[in-house]
Amino acid sequence: MCNQGARGMDCGIPFCHSGCPLGNLIPDFNHAVYQGKWEKAAKILHSTNNFPEFTGRLCPAPCEESCVLGINADPVSIENIEKNIVETAFEQGWITANPPAKRTNKSIAVVGSGPAGLAAAQQLNRAGHAVTVFERDEKVGGLLRYGIPDFKMEKNIIDRRLEVLEAEGIQFKTGVHIGVDVKATELQNTFDAVVLCGGATVRRQLPIPGADLKGVVQAMEFLPQNNRKVDGVPYTGEELSAKDKKVIVIGGGDTGSDCIGTSIRHGATSVTNFEIMPKGTTDRPENQPWPFWPMRLRTSSSHKEGADRVFSIATKAFVGDDEGNLKALQTVEVEWVPQKGKRPILKEIEGTEKEWPCDLVLLALGFTGSETVISQQLGLEMDVRTNVKASTQNYETNVPGIFVAGDQRRGQSLIVWAISEGRQAAHHVDKYLMGVSQLPLKGEGDLPRL
């Protein structure tokens, strides 16, 4: 790690921190690691990032794509440095609960316990407010717990941080579905402010013939059930297993990759990944110059474990047997025809139709927006994708005292954006309640504590 930190020491003008949605002080903690000052590095890292143990495992690392070394060499392995800093801090006992010295008389409800909700809760608790986090699932963590496979992040990583948050005074109420079990208006009337961090959980469908066949499964039904099985807790519905099945995963993002790795661990006979987009280049495309995020081919550890990847392919129909079970897919190859000043047009290539034998299809097509129950009960304005409208100027909705952060505001995005938005929203909630706020904004160092 010290050698990696040393690689960034001669950087003239760093760009890595500007590529990070959190504004992490990357050159500073890299320098501390280079000097062997790990506790100092941990303080710097935590000053802008509440949960580096999450981002150090799950973030796609836009900071590394902005690294100056990345212009003509491999970038500094910033994400790995981050993970090692926080793991060292936990091992050495440097991360302890720091309850606020005094309390305000303000109470805040945070709806959703994913990274946005947890970040907002910790920041608001640090300001002295009484914070209650509501989670509809049986345990805290959102998609971190019920979505991210355990082979990517074991759930004790969440639990050890949760112990710190509870010791700091944050209350968690699980198994409470706001809008269903408890009306959203009840929170509005009970608390001084409400922060919505429920995520963008409406799954994108694939409306083609045979979509209702047994064996056509949404990724976010398959993955959360697997998390519960690993945890040994009950789950509802029929068991979803890839064991001894020919599996096709439709969707080339992180969720698709997670389905691949999970299917392989179940003992699938084969796993194939379909992606409607063309195969990217391994190098940075010419029209996406440094330091911008490049859309290039990314190969995960799950891909390397034994998945066949097929690009520029569209699924036209699911084929079933007489009993309604999936037995095959019908596809066609596609190409993207460029248009000047417009989006490319998707065109099917004649004569490329094919049928693929298949027992299980996992739809990893992303999310289209947030659920609308809470928004309707509170009278919140939404965009065309049902995400709650709020500006980054204050994260407040059209209803005073109701704030929103993370995917529920911006749409499906990265964990690092969720934490960033939770932190930013907390500043504005604190300011709304108290008139001023000492909570930091992006890139500003927080209080020097772990």
Residue 166 CA to residue 137 CA, distance in Å, equals 18
Distances (CA, A) of 251 to 362, 402, 416: 9, 35, 22
Residue 446 CA to residue 123 CA, distance in Å, equals 10
> What is the band of 225 on the pLDDT scale with cuts at 50, 70, 90?
very high
Residue 114 CA to residue 116 CA, distance in Å, equals 6
Average pLDDT of the segment spanning 10-35: 90
Contact yes or no for 425/195 (Cβ under 8 A): yes
Average pLDDT of the segment spanning 286-305: 92
The string of pLDDT tens digits covering residues 148-168 is 999 999 999 999 999 999 999
Structure confidence at residue 7 (pLDDT): 64
Average pLDDT of the segment spanning 197-224: 97
Q: How many CB atoms lie within 10 A of CB 121?
A: 29
Structure confidence at residue 12 (pLDDT): 79
Structure confidence at residue 356 (pLDDT): 98
Q: Which of 368, 431, 417 is nearest to 106 (CA)?
A: 431
Structure confidence at residue 448 (pLDDT): 41
> What is the band of 443 on the pLDDT scale with cuts at 50, 70, 90?
low
Q: Is the peptide bond before 14 cis (omega within 30 degrees of 0)?
A: no
Average pLDDT of the segment spanning 118-145: 98
For residue 363, pLDDT over 90 is answered with: yes
Helix 254-266 vs helix 219-231: angle between axes, to the nearest 10 degrees?
A: 50
110: part of which helix (H) or strand (E)?
strand 107-111
> What is the band of 204 on the pLDDT scale with cuts at 50, 70, 90?
very high
Domains along the sequence of the chain with CATH: 2-91 (1.10.1060.10), 107-201+368-434 (3.50.50.60), 205-365 (3.50.50.60)
For residue 446, pLDDT over 60 is answered with: no
Q: What is the pTM of this model?
A: 0.95
255: part of which helix (H) or strand (E)?
helix 254-266
Distance between alpha carbon 384 and the CA centroid of its chain, in Å?
Answer: 21
